[in-house]
Amino acid sequence: MMTSSLYIGLMSGTSLDGVDGVLADFADGAIRTLEAAFVPFPAELRAELMALQANGANEIEREAIAANGLARAYADCVAALNIKAPGPVAAVAVHGQTVRHRPELGFTRQTNNPALLAELTGIDVIADFRSRDIAAGGQGAPLVPAFHAAAFGTPGTTRVVVNIGGIGNISVLHADGRVTGYDTGPGNVLLDGWIGRHQGKEYDADGAWGARGSVMPALLERLLEEPYFHQPAPKSTGRDLFHMEWLDARLAGFTDLAAQDVQATLTALTAQSIARAILDERVTVDAVYVCGGGAYNGTLLRMLAGALGGAVPVESTAALGIAPNRVEALAFAWLGYRFTQRQPGNMPAVTGAQGPRILGALYPA
Ligand SMILES: Nc1ncnc2c1ncn2[C@@H]1O[C@H](COP(=O)(O)OP(=O)(O)OP(=O)(O)O)[C@@H](O)[C@H]1O
Ligand SMILES: CC(=O)N[C@H]1[C@@H]2OC[C@@H](O2)[C@@H](O)[C@@H]1O[C@H](C)C(=O)O
Fold: same for 6-142+326-363 and 152-320: yes
Beta bridge partners of 288: 160, 314
108: helix, coil or strand? strand
**For the structural domain made of 152-320, what CATH number should be given?**
3.30.420.40
Under a CB-based contact definition with an 8 Å cutoff, are residues 185 and 271 in contact? no
Q: What is the CA(223)–ligand 1 centre distance, in A?
A: 21
Question: Which ligand places an atom closest to the C-alpha of 20?
Answer: 1
Contact 121, 362 (CB under 8 A): no
Give DSSP secondary structure letters for 35-64: EEEEEEPPHHHHHHHHHTTS--TTHHHHHH
**Is 293 annotated for ligand binding?**
no
Distance from C-alpha of 170 to C-alpha of 172, rounded to nearest angstrom: 6
Which atom of ligand 1 is closest in space to residue 168's alpha carbon?
26
Q: What is the DSSP letter of 240?
A: T
13 is in an annotated binding site: yes
Residue 250 vs residues 14, 112, 211, 245, 253: alpha-carbon distances, Å: 22, 34, 22, 9, 8
Instruction: Report DSSP state, residue 354.
Output: S
pLDDT at 184: 98
212 CA distance to ligand 2 centroid (A)? 30
**Would you write out the chain's pLDDT as a tens digit for each of its 365 residues?**
568 999 999 999 998 999 999 999 999 999 999 999 999 999 999 999 999 999 999 999 999 999 999 999 999 999 999 999 999 999 999 999 999 999 999 999 999 999 999 999 999 999 999 999 999 999 999 999 999 999 999 999 999 999 999 999 999 999 999 999 999 999 999 999 999 999 999 999 999 999 999 999 999 999 999 999 999 999 999 999 999 999 999 999 898 899 999 999 999 999 999 999 999 999 999 999 999 999 999 999 999 999 999 989 999 999 999 999 999 999 999 999 999 999 999 999 999 999 999 999 999 99
Write the ipTM.
0.98
Say if ligand 2 is within 6 A of residue 21 CB.
no
CA 211/CA 204 separation, integer angstroms: 10
From the list 103, 92, 89, the residue with the least C-alpha distance to 143 is 103
Query: What pTM was estimated for this model as a whole?
Result: 0.97
Pick the CATH number of 6-142+326-363 from 3.40.50.300, 3.30.420.40, 2.60.120.10, 3.10.20.310: 3.30.420.40
Q: Give the domain ranges of the chain.
A: 6-142+326-363, 152-320
